[in-house]
C-alpha cells in the first residue's frame, strides 16, 4: 500500500506540471475535458487541418442571414457543392435547401456544434451568427447570448479541432471617440451598442486565441454590405438595401437616416471575394488578424441621386429613426484599409455607379421604367 500511495504521489506531481516548475500553456478547460485528444499548446494550426492542395470542408453558421447564402454559393463554385455546409436554426426555403448541404446548428449548443465539426470533417468555419445593430439594441439579452456566448463555443471548437476560423467584424466596432475619416485598423474603439461591443470582444478573443493557442483566426471589419438577393437583416445601413426594393416596386422610398449621413458601404461581390482572399492568404503575409476593408462611402441623398438617374420618377422622403441615427453618428465615415491592400493585395471592384446599376438590373428597373413610360 505505501508503494501504491508513493506511485500516486509521483503521478500526481507529474500531472501538476513539469519537474522544472515552468508554467505551461493549456487549452481551454472545456476543450480538454470534452476531448480524448489533448492538443499541444504550441501546435501550429495554420496548416494542420489540411494540405494547401486539398479543398477545405466548410461550415457556415448563421447561414440564412444576409451574407450566408451568398457566401455558400460563392464558395461552392470554388470548392464544390458538397464541401460547403450551410447551417442555421431556421428552416431554409426550398431553393436554398436544394442548392447544397443545409443542416440545423445552434451555436449555443456546444455539443451540437462539436458533433457537426467532427462528423463532417470541417476544416474551415465561417461564423456569421449574430444579432445586428438595431435588432441587438431591441433585445440585449439575446444579443449577449448569440454574439458572445455563441462566439465562445465557436472559438473552443475551432481550437480543439484545429480549424481555420473566420469571424466578421463591422464598422459598428468603432464608436464616437474613434477617428472617423478615415478610421485606421488600430485606434480607440469604444462602441456604444451591444452589437459593437460584442464585435470588439470577438476581435480581441480571436486574437487572444491566436497568440495563446495558435488558432488560425481571421477577421474583416465589413462596411455596410449591399446585396441584391437578400432582405435587410436589421442593421443600421439596411436603408441602402431597402431603397432598391422600394424604388423598383413603388418608385419611392422613406429613409430612416438623415440625408447627409455618410457611411462606408460595399457591394456583396466585393465582400465575398475579400472574405475568401483573406482566408486563402498565406499566414506569413498577415501582419495582423483583424483588417479594415473599404470600397465607397456615400449618403442617402447621394444614393438617391444615383438611383434617380435610372428611375427619373423616383422620390425619397425622410423619417429619421432617432435610435438608428444615433448609432450611425458614432460610426466611421470611411475606413483606412491600406494594410489589407498591402498585405494580401485587397482591391474593390464596385463604386457607387456600378453598385446602383447592378442592383437595379437585378431588381428589374428596366421593366418598371418601360411600364411607367
What residues form DSSP beta bridges with 347?
none
Half-sphere CA count of 117, side-chain side, radius 13 A: 29
The sign one gets for the Cα dihedral 151, 153, 159, 162 is: negative
Virtual CA dihedral for 252, 258, 260, 261, nearest 10 degrees? -110
Q: Which strand (E) or helix (H) includes residue 226? A: strand 224-226
Half-sphere CA count of 334, side-chain side, radius 13 A: 10
Q: Which three cell numbers stand for residue 229?
A: 438577393
Backbone angles phi, psi at 234, to 5 degrees: 100, 20
Q: Which strand (E) or helix (H) includes residue 362? A: helix 352-363
Active site residues: 195
Cis, peptide link before residue 78, omega less than 30° from 0: no
Distance, CA of 271 to CA of 281 (rounded, Å): 15
Amino acid at each position: 500500500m505505501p508503494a501504491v500511495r508513493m506511485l500516486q504521489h509521483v503521478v500526481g506531481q507529474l500531472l501538476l506540471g513539469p519537474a522544472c516548475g515552468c508554467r505551461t500553456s493549456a487549452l481551454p478547460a472545456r476543450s480538454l475535458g470534452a476531448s480524448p485528444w489533448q492538443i499541444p499548446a504550441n501546435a501550429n494550426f495554420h496548416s494542420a487541418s489540411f494540405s494547401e492542395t486539398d479543398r477545405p470542408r466548410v461550415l457556415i453558421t448563421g447561414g440564412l442571414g444576409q451574407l450566408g447564402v451568398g457566401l455558400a454559393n460563392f464558395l461552392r463554385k470554388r470548392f464544390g457543392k458538397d464541401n460547403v455546409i450551410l447551417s442555421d436554426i431556421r428552416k431554409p426555403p426550398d431553393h436554398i435547401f436544394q442548392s447544397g448541404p443545409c443542416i440545423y446548428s445552434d451555436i449555443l449548443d456546444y455539443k451540437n456544434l462539436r458533433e457537426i465539426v467532427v462528423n463532417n470533417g470541417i476544416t474551415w468555419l465561417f461564423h456569421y451568427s449574430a444579432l445586428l445593430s438595431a435588432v441587438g439594441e431591441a433585445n440585449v439579452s439575446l444579443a449577449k447570448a448569440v454574439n458572445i456566448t455563441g462566439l465562445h463555443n465557436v472559438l473552443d471548437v475551432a481550437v480543439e479541432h484545429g480549424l481555420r476560423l473566420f469571424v466578421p467584424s463591422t464598422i459598428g466596432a468603432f464608436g464616437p471617440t474613434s477617428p472617423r475619416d478615415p478610421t485606421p485598423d488600430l485606434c480607440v474603439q469604444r462602441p456604444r451598442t451591444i452589437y459593437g461591443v460584442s464585435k470588439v470582444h470577438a476581435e480581441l478573443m480571436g486574437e487572444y486565441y491566436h497568440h495563446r493557442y495558435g488558432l488560425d483566426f481571421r477577421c474583416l471589419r465589413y462596411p455596410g454590405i449591399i446585396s441584391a438577393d437578400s432582405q435587410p437583416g436589421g442593421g443600421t445601413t439596411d436603408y441602402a438595401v431597402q431603397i432598391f426594393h422600394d424604388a423598383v416596386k413603388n418608385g419611392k422610398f422613406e429613409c430612416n437616416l438623415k440625408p447627409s449621413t455618410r457611411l462606408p458601404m460595399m457591394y456583396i461581390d466585393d465582400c465575398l471575394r475579400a472574405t475568401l482572399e483573406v482566408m486563402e492568404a498565406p499566414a506569413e503575409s498577415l501582419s495582423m488578424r483583424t483588417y479594415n476593408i473599404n470600397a465607397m462611402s456615400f449618403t442617402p441623398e447621394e444614393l438617391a441621386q444615383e438611383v434617380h438617374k435610372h428611375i427619373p420618377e423616383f422620390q425619397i422622403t425622410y423619417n429619421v429613426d432617432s435610435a438608428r441615427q444615433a448609432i450611425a453618428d458614432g460610426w466611421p465615415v470611411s475606413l483606412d484599409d491600406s494594410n489589407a491592400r498591402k498585405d494580401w493585395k485587397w482591391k474593390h471592384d464596385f463604386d457607387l455607379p456600378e453598385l446602383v446599376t447592378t442592383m437595379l438590373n437585378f431588381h428589374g428597373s428596366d421593366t418598371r421604367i418601360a411600364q411607367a413610360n
